[in-house]
Chain A
């Protein structure tokens, strides 16, 4: 195994654990009965913690955001907020966590290729089409209670 491969493995292992743990706070909040009353305050803390850490990183590498970075990050930030908010609302409506988390995170895997085809003219192979259809079937199964 070469250095590049080892570096990728280390970073991706960290990404897997850290990114995977991120949404679980919502579940803890919900189980403690605090999700309904403090949903937005929780999200302020969740995104605030990340913002402070990222701003510190920006200071360290001495980079300032440009016009497009500000604009596109606004849309992405609303997407991130909406994604978290609606996950929290789904949990509050008694959809179990083992359904909410794979459906919301995995669901974008099916939507994004479709947007890629329709908006960016990307090509999808037979595997891709089969993947999107299987994913849609999974989401339909999850939605039938």
Chain B
């Protein structure tokens, strides 16, 4: 696949969307915490979560006036990667039966490196020194949070 090199850039609005995206993903984790307190089962929770998200996307699609109509390629990519994501969620739920939630959750978060690496390798995005430093800091931060979780489990060795 050939693509023009892209300079790292973007505008303030784009970074505002990143913050909103972080808030959205955080809502999943906070909801999961509440669900755990209410003793909700993971599989029905995950199924209904995806169904609600699909419903929300459908409402927004109707707002565009185009409804669900899109080229087959759009749905082909969407279903392929959507199924991949839900397989990841199911694998996580199965995996945490055999290991600690802290290390399992860390692995899920580290998986963000795959699309990031894909963006650089497939689409030749350029990484500035400042952005590279930020990404290194993200890795250090994840490691520190993992140490924090390990410390918690050393004090209270019960697994979720």
- Interfacial residues, chain A to chain B (CB-CB below 8 A): 4-5, 7-8, 11-12, 14-29, 31-32, 34, 37-38, 40-51, 53-55, 57-58, 61, 63-66, 68-70, 72-87, 89-90, 92-113, 115-116, 119-120, 123-125, 127-128, 130-132, 134-135, 137-139, 141-145
Does B22 reach chain A (CB closer than 8 Å)? yes
**B134 smallest CB distance to A (angstroms):** 4
Query: What bracket does the count of chain B residues touching chain A fall in?
Result: 35 or more
| Given A14-B88, A44-B68, A127-B147, CB of A102 within 8 Å of CB of B123 | no
* Residues 32-66 of B contacting A (Cβ, < 8 Å): 32-35, 38, 40-41, 43-58, 60-61, 63-64, 66
Evaluate contact between A57 and B95: CB separation under 8 angstroms: no
Report A-chain residues with C-beta under 8 Å of the C-beta of B92.
11-12, 15, 19
Evaluate contact between B52 and A77: CB separation under 8 angstroms: yes
Binary per-residue interface labels of chain B (102-145) against chain A in the complex, 1 for a CB within 8 Å, 0 otherwise: 00100111111111111110010101001101110110111111
**A39 smallest CB distance to B (angstroms):** 8
Some 30 contacts from A to B, beta carbons below 8 A apart, are A4-B99, A15-B92, A19-B111, A22-B82, A27-B123, A48-B79, A50-B86, A51-B47, A54-B90, A65-B47, A72-B31, A75-B27, A78-B27, A80-B53, A90-B14, A90-B17, A94-B9, A97-B116, A97-B119, A97-B123, A99-B10, A101-B116, A103-B18, A106-B112, A115-B30, A131-B142, A134-B140, A134-B144, A135-B138, A142-B15
Evaluate contact between B135 and A138: CB separation under 8 angstroms: yes
Evaluate contact between A80 and B24: CB separation under 8 angstroms: yes
Q: Give the contacting residue for A49; candidates B14, B44, B82; CB below 8 A.
A: B82
**A63 smallest CB distance to B (angstroms):** 5
| Chain A residue with the shortest CB-CB distance to B94 | A11
Evaluate contact between B145 and A128: CB separation under 8 angstroms: yes
| Chain B residue with the shortest CB-CB distance to A61 | B43
Report B-chain residues with C-beta under 8 Å of the C-beta of A72.
31, 34-35, 38, 40, 45
Given A12-B104, A42-B74, A134-B140, 7 more pairs with CB closer than 8 A: A19-B91, A27-B123, A45-B77, A65-B45, A73-B44, A81-B56, A141-B137
